[in-house]
Amino acid sequence: MRLSEASGRRDTQALLPVTQAMELRNRDYHVERPLMNQQQLEELGHQTSATRTYQWRTWFQCSRARARALLFQYLPVLSWLPRYPLRDWLLGDLLAGLSVAIMQLPQGLAYALLAGLPPVFGLYSSFYPVFVYFLFGTSRHISVVLEVCSLLPQSVVGTVVTALVSGVVLVLLKLLSDKLHRYLPMPIPGELLTLIGATGISYGVGLKSKFGVDVVGDIPAGLVPPAAPNPQLFASLVGYAFTIAVVGFAIAISLGKIFALRHGYRVDSNQELVALGLSNLIGGIFQCFPVSCSMSRSLVQEGSGGNTQVAGAVSSLFILIIIVKLGELFRDLPKAVLAAAIIVNLKGMLKQFTDIPSLWKSNRMDLLIWLVTFVATILLNLDIGLAIAVVFSLLLVVFRTQLPHYSVLGQVPDTDIYQDVAEYSEAREVPGVKVFRSSATMYFANAELYSDALKKRCGVDVDHLISKKKKWLRKQEQKLKRMQKTLQKQTASSEGTSVSVQVNTIITDVESNNVDDSMARASAGNELEDTTASGQEDAKAANGSTLKALGLPQPHFHSLVLDLGALSFVDTVCIKSLKNIFRDFREIEVEVYMAACHAPVVSQLEAGHFFDASITKQHLFASVHDAVLFALQHPRSSPASPVLTTKL
């Protein structure tokens, strides 16, 4: 009995999602509301202009609460450290800090040698900036490290052998650590074990005296006093400093946001820039290298249980102990071992080449940026290559906005949804109404392309029809001028004045397409019945100034709806292009409507004086469906205030 009840309960649970899906499938979606244009929408929603606030006014406000907020904003450690959960996070942060410090010690020594400086400066750079970031940073998991770029020193045979052996040992230790990481509380400190072993072997065998292997040498104990940088070097280093700052901040904020999303907290980009700037500024006073963050150490800090920047403070204090007391123990450490550690740690950078196949499949534009950045940096240097990459990325953005996806929309049956008829086989164009949409905003760089694509997708040669119509009107004007001269010759001087005035009126009215009224006034002359009778016959021809009367092909639609939901802003070129679209399509007897404009875009249209007597807010609708319904109920008619209902 219990078994049958359990099985029945499981069957019910299995059928529940199916039942819910059927209910959703059979559930109708009914909405009944008035058909709304923009003017009616503003009246119904009681639109009011948003109160404009000036951010700079708050900068000069002073209060206790504001001072406290500014202090916590620029010194984040004061906000999270008092609420630090010791029982939950302290052990993890201690282990993470120790793990990072074990990695930081050999890498700091190695990067100093890579820059051609004494190893102790690498230790300084592993202490001061890390501790400053602990005070000012907002990311809990990234680990701040050095960023240097120089040439490796020349090597001898003993140095090469030492580097190869050290590299192989270090690779084996890293592979072993990756294989056993599930069973270890912290990664195997491969760099530290390699350094300790190499130092012992070098001391015991005498690598420097017997084989000429360069060693680190004396490492002075203690900290150096602060010193102001040499201002004469600013001019020669400002370009490199800017490049390092941009690259370092990009790496730091990218890693920071990755860890923040993974662990559910927020990283303040502005404060991160402040933290990195202060870390480098204070570090520069104490003769440190530029710093950013390291992916490998950040992953180690996260994987070994680190929860906050307390781990960074622990690692910096561990480095401080080495600087003060234990630095002299690494006097016989071969420099080749440090070089091997650098090369092995480049494995992650070299692995980025594996991104090429995935980028080729996912986003080829990003792949193009990747390749341009790589080639420019390799061939032209880091700063110039970075500048080229940034400029190329901006140009690519402009290029992509000039090649958006233009589409003619059709209505999905029995819905108010409109989709591209080329992509949705069931979407059908509404008879008599053409709906056009662009996937990108329209501005000065692509406004002309938008107009050309619109005319092409509509299937009508708009420019040709307008040209033919204007040509016919010019011929009619010339004909009326000849008629004027004939009338002047056949009438007396007193009557000629009256006829001249009447014919001039005809010419003016023809230019404004008001031929009916002009012919009515021209027929008022009693003494020129025969002449005006022939003029009326011409007027009947002039009355056929429509495309049909002219023998020109008529558009198969009477209304055009522009879906402007993709517009995020408008400029003067966009406004002029929209006005030209209204003018051109009205010339070929097609009324134009707009739909789905966002409120900021409508405000910009108003500021740009887009709306006037011929184009009002009654031509702008809340949705594409509203515009289509109005166009169907008002073919070739100017929009009045409609009181209609849309049913979905």
Categorize the per-residue pLDDT at 359 as very low, low, confident or very high, splitting at 50, 70 and 90.
confident
**Cβ proximity of 480 and 507 under 8 Å:** yes
**Region 250-255 average pLDDT:** 84
> What separation in angstroms does the CA of 418 have from each of 58, 229, 539, 561, 599?
46, 64, 45, 12, 21
Categorize the per-residue pLDDT at 19 as very low, low, confident or very high, splitting at 50, 70 and 90.
low
CA–CA dist 371, 379 (Å, integer) = 12
Q: Which residue has the tokens 């190695």?
A: 110
**Cβ proximity of 521 and 469 under 8 Å:** no
pTM: predicted TM-score of the whole model, two decimal places:
0.61
Q: Is 161 left (phi over 0), alpha (psi -120 to 50) or beta?
A: alpha
- Single out the residue of 119, 207, 217 nearest to residue 160, CA to CA: 207
Categorize the per-residue pLDDT at 155 as very low, low, confident or very high, splitting at 50, 70 and 90.
very low
> Which ranges in 46-155 belong to alpha helices (H)?
55-59, 64-74, 77-80, 86-114, 120-125, 128-136
Categorize the per-residue pLDDT at 156 as very low, low, confident or very high, splitting at 50, 70 and 90.
low
Adjacent-strand bridge partners of 450 = none
| The pLDDT of residue 406 | 93
Q: How many CB atoms lie within 10 A of CB 559?
A: 24
Adjacent-strand bridge partners of 437 = 407, 563
| The pLDDT of residue 374 | 87
For the chain, percent of residues with pLDDT exceeding 90: 19
The C-alpha torsion from 125 through 129 and 130 to 136, rounded to 10°, is 180
| The pLDDT of residue 139 | 83
For the chain, percent of residues with pLDDT exceeding 70: 79
28 vs 137, residue with greater confidence: 137
**Region 446-465 average pLDDT:** 90
CA–CA dist 176, 18 (Å, integer) = 49
**Region 300-315 average pLDDT:** 80
| The pLDDT of residue 453 | 93
Residue 158, CB half-sphere, CA atoms under 13 Å: how many? 14
Categorize the per-residue pLDDT at 525 as very low, low, confident or very high, splitting at 50, 70 and 90.
very low
Q: What are φ and ψ of residue 435, in 5° steps?
A: -115, 125
| The pLDDT of residue 537 | 36
Average pLDDT, the chain: 78
Adjacent-strand bridge partners of 436 = 408, 562
334 vs 114, residue with greater confidence: 334
Lowest model confidence (mean pLDDT) among 482-486, 619-623, 627-631: 482-486
**Cβ proximity of 632 and 430 under 8 Å:** yes
CA dihedral for 612, 615, 621, 622, sign (positive or negative): negative
Tens of pLDDT, residue by residue over 481-523, are 888 888 877 775 555 444 444 444 444 444 444 444 444 443 4
| The pLDDT of residue 2 | 40
Lowest model confidence (mean pLDDT) among 185-189, 236-240, 486-490, 517-521: 517-521
Lowest model confidence (mean pLDDT) among 53-57, 113-117, 123-127, 554-558: 53-57
| The pLDDT of residue 58 | 66
Tens of pLDDT, residue by residue over 565-577, are 999 999 999 999 9
| The pLDDT of residue 432 | 93
| The pLDDT of residue 584 | 93
